[in-house]
Structure 1
Amino acid sequence: MVKLTIVEDRPTPKEVYNWKVYFYASMACWASVMIGYDSAFIGSAMALKSFKDEFNLSTQSKSESALLSANIVSCYQAGCFFGALSGYFIGYYWGRKWGLFAASMVFLVGSVLQVVSSHKTGLGIMYAGRAIAGWSVGVASNLTPIYIAEISPPAIRGRLIGLYELGWQIGAVVGFWIGYGVNQHVPYGNKQWMIPFAVQLVPGGCLAMGALTLRESPRWLASRDRFAPALKNLAHVRGLPEEHPYVQEEMYEIKSAIEHDEERAGRGVLAPMRALFTNKSYVKRLGICVMLFAMQNGTGINAINYYAPTVFASIGVTGTSSSLLTTGVFGLVKFAVAIVWLLWLVDRYGRKILLLVGALGGALSMIWIGVYIAVAKPAEHPTSTLSGGGISAIVAFYLWTCFYGPTWNGTPWVFGAETMPTFIRSATQAFIAASNWLFAFLIARFTPQMFAAMGFGVYLFFAALMLVSIPIVYFVVPETSGIPLEHMDELFAVSPRKAHAIVSERLHKQHENDTFDDKPQQEQLEKAESRDEHHIV
């Protein structure tokens, strides 16, 4: 039986784990459905003969076709990069709720431009639509993890941020399968390739409607000196009265953390950036987060996401239909293991051990694929059926998915959303998300050329990068699971290998006498008040 047990940093009323916090996180995660679909469908759509003929890709040489395909894919990541940076300013001035709403509306514009492009307009409209949609995705990838982290109780923060990853995988499953579906059931013609592009409008529209239902982040409201609505929203999300000692103490900690940060950094839109780059601890944390996303892309995931049909063709899968079917199965496996990560792993085993296991297992799987291609050379000996070795390579590929999906796929996003103080979280998330899209851009832009030049060496290259990540994660990355956001300074002040145990023990001692019953008690309230004479009411 599945036991979704949680480890609390302090005694917590059962009302805190209510449907509201899951609902708001789920509505925000339409952003990740939008992102997941956009990241997955493009490879399958470009593999359709109708798309190739529409934009004359089928008449180009192999190198020219690869270059145009890389441009179509990579201008999306370029937009994402700039959108992630823009997301900081949007989040600072407009907040999480209205920032997500604005991103969704711009995304719809970009999606429409992609649908109306054709051989008559040329690829310019397609490039513009991809870049505009990418900008919106960059903004959403910045704001969504922040919003979820800021409304989450610490004990289920990983699980709720994991919904972001789950939404990504739901979108990806649809994106991976839609190419196969239209290839099988929609006649050759413009409609065949336009349908996958038009489906982008569905998650974009759902995010727009979902954003309107959100309660603004209490932490963002408090950072703007709007303490009354902050307390109101916090109590609403926690399912408790505003005067409840649990709500009062959490609000006290939020306010104290913000005041502490602002005393050191000052106020204004650029103050968080100055604070970020003048504080060694913050720079260190940012460096770790960026490094995790570099290593995530070093697993090869975005080469597979954007060029899955090409990847399977290199293993020996022939024919458009077979390639798209195999790609769709990859999406289903990736989705299934994401569920495992969300329900069983992220808050039970933490972040660090998952990264270590994923890197080792993924590297071994990639090595097997590379060795098979080097020995069998399936591209030079095409057949209508896979050999035993080819089947084993496909199994190894899906095994790689099983190692990657519940580890590196979502964990860096969880880690990045947890590590920074409230006052600079938007700024740091902008750089973190931008770094992810920068690395994704590099992979998407050069993957076709890598396969052409390196062959089986591509798989050994990604395997080597995963092996290199193991000692880095072990010695540099601290465990953050179950640590409140307001105590991350303590976590990064000690040795990464021992930090979690030290801070957890300190928090346990701090709260060992705190008991919160279903009904607020006056003595509990006085205990919270005694920590600061300026108790929030």
Structure 2
Amino acid sequence: MGGNFFKKVEDRPTPPQVYNWKVYFIAAVASAGAASIGYDSAFIGGTIALPAFRDELGFSSMSKAEIDLITANIVSCYQAGAFFGAFLAYPAGHYLGRRIGLLIFALLFTLGAGIMLATNSGTGFGYMYGGRVVAGLGIGAISNLVPIYLAEISPPAIRGRLVGMWEIGWQCGGLVGFWINYGVSTTLSSSRTQWIIPFAVQLIPGGLLALGSVVLPETPRWLLSKGRRRAGIKNLCYLRNLPEGDAYIQVELQMIDLAFEDLRQTIGTSFGAPFKAVLQSKTIAYRFFLGGALFFWQNGSGINAINYYSPVVFSSIGLTGTNASLLTTGIFGVIKTVCTFIWIMVMIDQIGRRNLLMWGALGGSISLWVVGGYIAVAKPSENPTGTLTSGGIAAMAFFYLYTIFYTPSWSGTPWVVNSEMFDQNVRTLAQAFAAANNWFWNFIVARFTPQMFTQMSYGVWFFFASLQLLSVPFVYFLLPETKSIPLESMDLLFDKDLKPPHAHKIVLQRIQESEQMMQGDISAQGYLKGGDTHHLENTE
């Protein structure tokens, strides 16, 4: 795999065995949790727009305002549950570990998905609301634990790629969700079966994550943090595919030990220590602020308004007919998935987090200004033509261009940054805070988008375009680049004396100098014997 795009930027010379199939396979299994989230965000808007669903639940006898309220409640109950689930993951991840926590909450999500299936004309919306809250509790915790799990098992040079597999799972689930509505709409007659199938499919990714959690290895860092040193070293050697005596393993263990020792002497390792750290440390509080703000900007891009209410979105551009809207939505899902694969393979660990966020926001903003401008001038909803005009086709093209800019930038990158910029003992709480921010802003968008489209029309597009523009200076001036920086060295990156635009280059140079000294110490202690010295050479 030649070419600069595939060249790994390493924090230290790394044996090729470290980039083995096991870490990729484990990351893929854990990312089944993301498939559950992506599927829900994609299928729910299209499914509740199906005539079969609306007929069975009595939408025909409701006013437009009542329909907007009920659809918003169905969608947003999930986000409300996820907000609280994100916080529940903290005690589970701290006391039980990442793996057991994933198992518990995968089962909870599956239970909630099953409850939704009891919805019918006789039961009304009670089971639907309740099931979506329970499923949301599970998925909120999963959205906390999976990125942490992936970050903690990853070698630094491919951490962005492995954490990015969370986004691959998300988009693959979304792709299925977008197309399943088109499939049931075009192949099945209008009936309960037509709309219950999309709800039942949720059980598949939830079940896969639950089964996978049984066999996933616990992260070495969590085991070492709990004093289970032998198990931690065993899992580290398994993940890196190297023996315990290898120089690479010894350097990584030494870095982890130094980081834990620093934690014990500063904020401590107890359950309440992270709360104390946030109150006492300005740099940790600042990272909490950054993590939460990234998800404000992510949801401010408008993507979840599109995901959850795609039929409404496409009708505002001038597309008429349920099947036509669902087909267009399916194409939207294909573009997102393709862009995500490109992002994870050649962008996140090469272009870096900052550049992706800034350029993605700028391109996405320009695209939405064009879409909103077309709607403002042509007013397609007031002048239906049955087919898209040339202006409508151009607007649709810019909408897809927005998708191309958004997906490899703001879609997955905030999850990557949040999973990697915190100390071990703060990471689970920090990820809980970040995930809760994601679900809070997600809830706001899901709850009020129908009313926004009704009241603001094209102004919705200008609103989201403006927020994207404002995110560019935020990222440039406040967020340092985190790619290739070891998890144990993130404090250096956020030193108050370093300016975010220049911090990455300075810190990476310091780390490389420090690790050269570590490797020299290990050589002197006799860790390197004979043929093992080749592991200190740059294999890339």
How would you bin the TM-score normalised by the shorter chain? over 0.9
Residue of structure 1 in register with 2:513 after alignment: 509
Q: 1:150 aligns with which of 134, 139, 152?
A: 152
CA RMSD of aligned residues (A): 1.5
Counterpart residue type for residue 213 of structure 1: V
| Separation in structure 1 between the aligned mates of residue 314 and residue 297 of structure 2, nearest angstrom | 23
Percent identity, please: 51
Per the alignment, residue 98 of structure 2 pairs with 96
Q: Do structure 1's residue 499 and structure 2's residue 498 form an aligned pair?
A: no
Shift of 1:523: 5.6
Residues 58 and 65 in structure 1, CA contact (< 8 A), matched pair in contact too:
no
Give runs of aligned pairs for residues 115-514 of structure 1, distance below 5 A.
Answer: 115-493=117-495, 494-512=498-516
Q: Is the 8 A contact 1:276 1:428 kept in 2?
A: no
Q: 2: CA distance between counterparts of 1:89 and 1:470? A: 35
The alpha-carbon deviation at position 141 of structure 1 amounts to 0.3
Q: Distance in 2 between matches of 1:262 and 1:318?
A: 62
Q: For 1:524 and 1:452, how far apart are their aligned partners in 2? A: 72
What is the rounded CA distance, in whole Å, between the counterparts of 1:365 and 1:256 in structure 2? 47
Q: Quote how far apart the aligned CAs of 1:53 are.
A: 1.1
Question: Which has the higher mean CA deviation after the structures are superposed, 261-270 or 62-71?
Answer: 261-270
Q: Which runs of 5+ in 2 are unaligned?
A: 530-540
State how far apart, in whole Å, the 2-side matches of 1:107 and 1:230 are.
29
SS of match in other structure, 2:266: helix
What secondary structure sits across from 2:501 in the alignment? Answer: coil
Shift of 1:385: 0.6
Give, in angstroms, the shift of residue 363 of structure 1.
Answer: 0.4
Distance in 1 (CA, whole Å) between partners of 2:52 and 2:481 is 49
Larger displacement relative to structure 2 (244-253 or 91-100): 244-253
Q: Is the 8 Å Cα contact of residues 105 and 141 (structure 2) preserved in structure 1?
A: yes
Q: CA offsets per residue over residues 261-303 of structure 1, 9 Å max, x none?
A: 1221234222222212321100001101111110011100110
Deviations, residues 163-199 of structure 1 (Å, cap 9, x unaligned): 0000000000000111110000111110000000000
Q: Offset of 1:432 from its aligned partner? A: 0.5
Which letter does structure 2 place at the counterpart of 1:325?
L
Any stretches of 5+ residues in structure 1 without a counterpart? Answer: 528-537
Cα distance, 1:235 vs structure 2: 0.7
Three-state SS of the structure 1 residue aligned to 2:121 is coil
Shift in Å at residue 505 of structure 1?
A: 1.3
- For 1:469 and 1:266, locate their aligned partners in 2 and report how far apart those are by CA, in whole Å: 35
Aligned length: 524
In the superposition, relative to structure 1, how do residues 19 and 298 fare at CA in structure 2: closer, same or farther (>3 Å)? same
Instruction: Describe the SS at the equivalent of 1:47.
Output: coil
- Offset at 1:26? 1.0
**Does the aligned pair in 2 maintain the 1:314–1:378 contact within 8 Å?**
yes
Partner of 2:87 in structure 1? 85
Write out per-residue CA displacement over residues 488-520 of structure 1, whole angstroms, 9 at most, x where no aligned residue.
Answer: 10000021111001101112222347779xxx9
CA contact (8 A) 1:365 1:399 kept: yes
Q: Is the 8 A contact 2:269 2:425 kept in 1?
A: no
The whole-number CA distance in structure 2 between the counterparts of 1:133 and 1:263 is 40
What does residue 532 of structure 1 align with? none
Runs of 4+ in 1 over 2 A off after TM superposition: 508-516, 520-527
Q: Is the 8 A contact 2:246 2:528 kept in 1?
A: no
- SS at the partner of 2:6? coil
- Give 1:30 shift: 0.7
Structure 2 Cα separation of the partners of residues 109 and 199 of structure 1: 13
When normalised by structure 1's length, the TM-score is 0.95
Amino acid aligned to 1:500: H
Q: Supply the distance in 2 between the matched residues of 1:303 and 1:194 (Cα, whole angstroms).
A: 23
Deviating more after overlay: 255-264 vs 312-321: 255-264
Q: Given that residues 295 and 469 in structure 1 are in contact (C-alpha distance below 8 angstroms), is that contact kept between their aligned partners in structure 2? A: yes
How far, CA to CA, are the matches of 2:324 and 2:58 in structure 1? 23
Q: What letter is aligned with 2:454?
A: A
Q: TM-score, normalised by structure 2?
A: 0.95
Q: What residue identity is the alignment partner of 1:40?
A: A
Distance in 2, matches of 1:452 and 1:98, equals 44
Shift of 1:249: 1.6
Give 1:524 shift.
6.2
Query: Contact 1:514–1:524 at 8 Å: present in 2 too?
Result: no
User: Which position in structure 1 is the counterpart of 2:533?
Assistant: none
